[in-house]
Amino acid sequence: MNTSASPSDRADDALPWSERIAQWVTEHPWTVVLAATVAAALSIFVSLRHLTLDANTDSLISPDRPFMVRYREFLDEFGDLEGLTIAVDPRGDDAAAKRAVDALVSELSAFPGIPHAVGRIDPSEQWRLAPWSMPSAQLQDLLRARSAFPTLLHAPKDAEAVCALEQARNLLAATVAEGVTASRDAQESRVASALLLLDAVCPPPSSESLAAPRAPEYLRSDGGSMLFVQIQPQKDFSSLATIEPLLREVRGVIARVHKAEPTVEIGLTGKPVLQADELATSNADTSRGTAIAALIVVGLLIAVFRSVLRPMLAALALGLTFACTYGVATVLVGRLNLLSLVFMLVLVSAGIDYGIHALAHHADWRGRVRPSLAPRSAMAGGLVPIWVGAATSAAVFYLALMTDFGGLRELGIIAGSGLLICALMMTVVLPAMLTLAARAGMDRTLREEASPLERVGRTAVTPAMHGPTARGVLLAALLLCAVSAALLPKVAFESNLLKLQAEGLESIEWEHRILADSTSASWFGAIICADEACVDRVRLLAASEPTIERTLSIRDVMLPATSERARLRGELAAACAAEPTPCAAATDDGGTALQREGAAALASLERLQTLGRLGGSADQMAPLRERSDRLRILDSALKQPALAGEAARRAQENAQRAAHALREMAEGAAASQREALPRALRDRLVSTRGTYLVSLLPKEDIWEPVPLAAFTAALTRIDAHATGVPFTVHESLIDMRRAFVTMALWSLGSIAALVWIDLRSIRATLVTIGMLLLGMLWTFGCMGAAGASLNLANFFGVPMLLGLGVDGAVHILHRAREGGDPLAWMWTRRAVILSALTTAAGFGTLLFASHRGLQSLGWLILVGSICTLLSCVVVLPALLCVAPDLAGRRQPPLEGGSGGGAGGATPSS
């Protein structure tokens, strides 16, 4: 073992700054380790108390963006309308589908986490809506019969029918008795009231009668083939499982209802469901991939470094990095969002790389100096190149601050800071721990013979290649560049979020089924109107836009709110509140009294027809004859003992239904416009402040980017303040694509500047950037050849590849400057190769993920790692063989050494 020359053998006053830091760290290892431990403990304490999790996807977007300001104003006015949708496909059995909807609503309404679950508009809600939706002429006709209202509404229980007949008989008798002395309006009012009372007991076949049974109106798709249950859940954005526990309960209810109604199909979808399913599949995929990758990486590290302790110490340093990064995230940002959560993935990849290079330095120096001095020598040699790699990678993430996408900016702050912390842990704390291990005699090598990976490292293409071989490598690289450049136009940006989800998910399949049936999709455009005139204007403009299928607004269920209609509703409410006329027949025997009062009412009605008090025209006499016919049928049934009971029961039920309908109409007339609306529509039409919402539904599938852009453009033409989920998705996609380009361009500039500061050579800097661009060009060429695309799941892998590519090139150039026997480069090449392999293995496991977005991320990192690795360990050595001066100035070897670098990189740099 050569122990004649190491940084630790020099005089202190001649040591470069990196060696002086290394000397202090290795002389005070307990101080360093304890300081790191205390910092990690404080970070954990602070983060547990103050760091919050925000799982709201809206929080990924900068709140000051104009489209987001409008959307938050919409949420403040109307609340969160993104709910769960249960779709029921009758498959020919509409009755079973309705029973399924009723059962679903009944069970779900009992859940504390579901304040709002509706599947139909009940008859009571229909009657409350009637004063606002029925034409003014019908309201006026109803008010002519106002004298009947108190009797219907206030009759004694179970005496509604007999009291209605008694009051009808009195009104008809009064009309006959007064003769021509009463005004025509008074006569018509009494007759209208009498006829209303008679209709309450013997309703006509028409469903417009107050006593006629009304069926619930079920929520249906535009095509009519599906029934819906709309659920508005309580969302807990402080947990990743925002609605996941609730979804399990809802799916359990669906399973039970489907078992009871097997002839129908029932599915669950909606934006919150799609997001929850995506999060669940991605979490399962990443957890499985992380476990597999950890085993592969640990195995590689133990095999290469022939030690269990050293990789474990590197893992411990990585754990301290995680803890401190959480503390920094708490101080600088204060929360984690769905995008910034991936900083763990970034740190694992980068932390392993920095740890590999630090351990490679250590392994190399163990063969050249005393084991107790190896940590100090390794730290001195690896400090600069590792920090250059960390600084360039961190700079790439910090450049996210220059973008408009809020979630990416927060990720940039946390990941960039975490990378610097990781470099600190691997270049300072890890050497301190290795020093303690060496002092305790714990740092032992498992075996002396070379591992298979080491033998591959010795025989791999090296900077020792000469002449034709090097030129052949460069020519092949140029040919690959030409092919990759030709394939670049085939690389697109996939914006359809459904195409990133796992195949076969129930929520996605039902979303597609709903889209195929109608425009009843998860997304809609929203325009807020201050008055109904604005609603009418928006509806008119929307009808001229070809990308808009239809609108949903207050005008779909209510007529314009005029002063005349308000007066009529007021009169209706007042008339219903009037004092009733005493009902003498209520105290008599029910069946006998009903038959007696019915016969008396029939006699008065026939007398009125005979006298022709209403003018005698056929049209005027027809209503009287119709009531007479129905009263005769009732009278005949009541006179037959076998039919009397059933006839009396039906008459009583009819009267009670009429009273209930009139009572609901009175409530609706007295209620505000919003409260008169059915619960299923209320929140989507009128806010609690009285503003109106016009929802605009697209004609095409706006999950696709082109129809989405056309739809949002149409909304903007209608109203410059239009908003809704289509805007947030469309604009955020634009922001993310712009952020991607901005970060890529600025990253190259910042990387070039940092590399030049390190290497102090324009030629060496250009070589480094050239190798980086070469690897990225090959990567995108492979993507084009495979038909792969960039998307919202894999785009942040590009900054990671930039950091990996420049890191490998910097280490090779540092080692090239030291010169020496090319075999002495073994640990440098080995470290670069191992870094790429661990990154490829870590992300390559995602190729088996069910989430297609994560699959694309794994594919990108795997291919990118290999491409950047080839550019660093194959093309760069060949280029340096042909033009050695491109590496810049060479570092003088240490006195008596064989290629070590004081203050610069060692063979493991």
Closest CA to 826 of 899, 765, 901: 899
Which tokens belong to 106? 């009944």
> DSSP of 572-586, one letter per residue?
HHHHHTSPPPP-GGG
How many angstroms separate the most distant Cα atoms in the chain? 136
- The pLDDT tens digits for 656-701 are 999 999 999 999 999 999 999 999 999 999 999 999 999 999 988 8
Cα gap 64→66, rounded to integer Å: 6
Please tell me the predicted confidence (pLDDT) of residue 275.
78
- The pLDDT tens digits for 848-876 are 878 788 888 889 989 998 999 899 888 98
- Per-residue b or e along 106-126, where b marks 16 or more CB atoms closer than 10 Å to that residue's CB: ebbeebeebebbbbbbbbbbb
Closest CA to 544 of 727, 722, 717: 717
- Per-residue b or e along 749-775, where b marks 16 or more CB atoms closer than 10 Å to that residue's CB: ebbbebbbebbebeebbebbbbbbebb
In the chain, pLDDT over 90 holds for what percent of residues? 35
How many Cα atoms sit within 13 Å of 288 on the Cβ side? Answer: 14
Torsion angle (degrees, nearest 10) of CA 809, 811, 816, 819? -170
**Residue 779 confidence (pLDDT) above 90:** yes
pLDDT band at 456 (very low <50, low <70, confident <90, very high): very low
Selected residue with higher pLDDT from 902 and 765: 765
User: Which residue do the tokens 């696709």 mark?
Assistant: 704
Please tell me the predicted confidence (pLDDT) of residue 464.
47
| Residue 825 CA, distance from chain mean position | 49
> DSSP of 344-381, one letter per residue?
HHHHHHHHHHHHHHHHHHHHHHHTTS-GGGHHHHHHHH
Please tell me the predicted confidence (pLDDT) of residue 660.
95
Please tell me the predicted confidence (pLDDT) of residue 144.
93
Mode of pairing for the β-strands spanning 790-791 and 493-494:
parallel
Q: What are phi and psi of 580, to 5 degrees?
A: -80, 160
Which residues make Cβ contacts (< 8 Å) with residue 297, sequence separation at least 6?
Answer: 352, 838, 841, 842
For the purposes of burial, counting CB atoms within 10 Å of the CB of 275, is it exposed (0-12), middle (13-18) or buried (19 or more)?
Answer: buried
Cα gap 404→412, rounded to integer Å: 12
Highest mean pLDDT among 358-367, 446-455, 783-792: 783-792
**Cα–Cα–Cα angle for 632, 633, 636, nearest 5°?**
80
Strand partners, 494: 791
8 Å CB contact between 686 and 593 = no
Average pLDDT, the chain: 83
Please tell me the predicted confidence (pLDDT) of residue 896.
35
Please tell me the predicted confidence (pLDDT) of residue 673.
94
- The pLDDT tens digits for 215-241 are 999 998 877 789 999 988 877 666 656
Closest CA to 878 of 512, 468, 320: 468
Please tell me the predicted confidence (pLDDT) of residue 749.
83
Highest mean pLDDT among 86-95, 357-366, 388-397: 86-95
**Residue 483 confidence (pLDDT) above 80:** yes
**Phi-psi domain of 616 (left: phi exceeds 0; alpha: psi -120 through 50; beta: other):** left
Kindly report which listed range (145-149, 364-368, 721-725) carries the lowest average pLDDT score: 364-368
Please tell me the predicted confidence (pLDDT) of residue 619.
62
- The pLDDT tens digits for 138-179 are 999 999 999 999 999 988 888 889 999 989 999 988 888 876
pLDDT band at 820 (very low <50, low <70, confident <90, very high): low
Please tell me the predicted confidence (pLDDT) of residue 463.
43
H or E segment to which residue 862 belongs: helix 852-870
pTM: 0.78
| Residue 161 CA, distance from chain mean position | 56
Which residues make Cβ contacts (< 8 Å) with residue 868, sequence separation at least 6?
Answer: 771, 772, 775, 776, 779, 801, 804, 805, 808, 836
Closest CA to 770 of 889, 880, 649, 621: 880
Reduced to 3 states (helix: H, G, I; strand: E, B; else coil), residue 724 is strand
pLDDT band at 447 (very low <50, low <70, confident <90, very high): low
Please tell me the predicted confidence (pLDDT) of residue 826.
64
- The pLDDT tens digits for 282-336 are 777 777 777 777 778 778 888 888 888 888 898 899 889 999 999 999 999 988 8
For the purposes of burial, counting CB atoms within 10 Å of the CB of 30, is it exposed (0-12), middle (13-18) or buried (19 or more)?
Answer: exposed
Please tell me the predicted confidence (pLDDT) of residue 558.
95
pLDDT band at 273 (very low <50, low <70, confident <90, very high): confident
8 Å CB contact between 722 and 537 = no
**Residue 87 confidence (pLDDT) above 90:** yes
Which residues make Cβ contacts (< 8 Å) with residue 360, sequence separation at least 6?
Answer: 305, 827, 828, 830, 831, 834, 908
Reduced to 3 states (helix: H, G, I; strand: E, B; else coil), residue 268 is strand
User: Which residue do the tokens 């097997």 mark?
Assistant: 262
Which tokens belong to 572? 């209706």
Which tokens belong to 164? 């209605």
Closest CA to 678 of 688, 687, 668, 669: 668
Helix axes 271-305, 309-332, angle to 10 degrees: 140
**Residue 902 confidence (pLDDT) above 90:** no
Positive or negative, the CA dihedral 696, 697, 701, 703 is positive
8 Å CB contact between 481 and 774 = yes
Highest mean pLDDT among 90-99, 232-241, 496-505: 90-99
pLDDT band at 104 (very low <50, low <70, confident <90, very high): very high
In the chain, pLDDT over 70 holds for what percent of residues? 88
Please tell me the predicted confidence (pLDDT) of residue 726.
92
User: Which residue do the tokens 């008065």 mark?
Assistant: 604
Please tell me the predicted confidence (pLDDT) of residue 1.
42
Please tell me the predicted confidence (pLDDT) of residue 362.
81
**Residue 832 confidence (pLDDT) above 90:** no
Please tell me the predicted confidence (pLDDT) of residue 43.
95
- The pLDDT tens digits for 106-130 are 999 888 878 888 999 999 999 999 9
**Residue 908 confidence (pLDDT) above 50:** no
Please tell me the predicted confidence (pLDDT) of residue 733.
84
- Per-residue b or e along 469-482, where b marks 16 or more CB atoms closer than 10 Å to that residue's CB: ebeebbeebeebee
Selected residue with higher pLDDT from 254 and 155: 254
**Residue 11 confidence (pLDDT) above 60:** no
Please tell me the predicted confidence (pLDDT) of residue 462.
45
Please tell me the predicted confidence (pLDDT) of residue 873.
86
Mode of pairing for the β-strands spanning 493-494 and 723-724:
unpaired
Mode of pairing for the β-strands spanning 52-54 and 493-494:
unpaired
User: Which residue do the tokens 């291919």 mark?
Assistant: 863
Coarse DSSP helix, strand, coil percentages of the chain, rounded to the nearest 5 percent: 70, 5, 25
How many Cα atoms sit within 13 Å of 838 on the Cβ side? Answer: 30
Please tell me the predicted confidence (pLDDT) of residue 864.
92
User: Which residue do the tokens 């025209």 mark?
Assistant: 617
pLDDT band at 879 (very low <50, low <70, confident <90, very high): confident
Please tell me the predicted confidence (pLDDT) of residue 8.
45
pLDDT band at 828 (very low <50, low <70, confident <90, very high): confident
Reduced to 3 states (helix: H, G, I; strand: E, B; else coil), residue 337 is strand
Highest mean pLDDT among 10-19, 164-173, 383-392, 667-676: 667-676
Kindly report which listed range (64-68, 462-466, 560-564, 874-878) carries the lowest average pLDDT score: 462-466
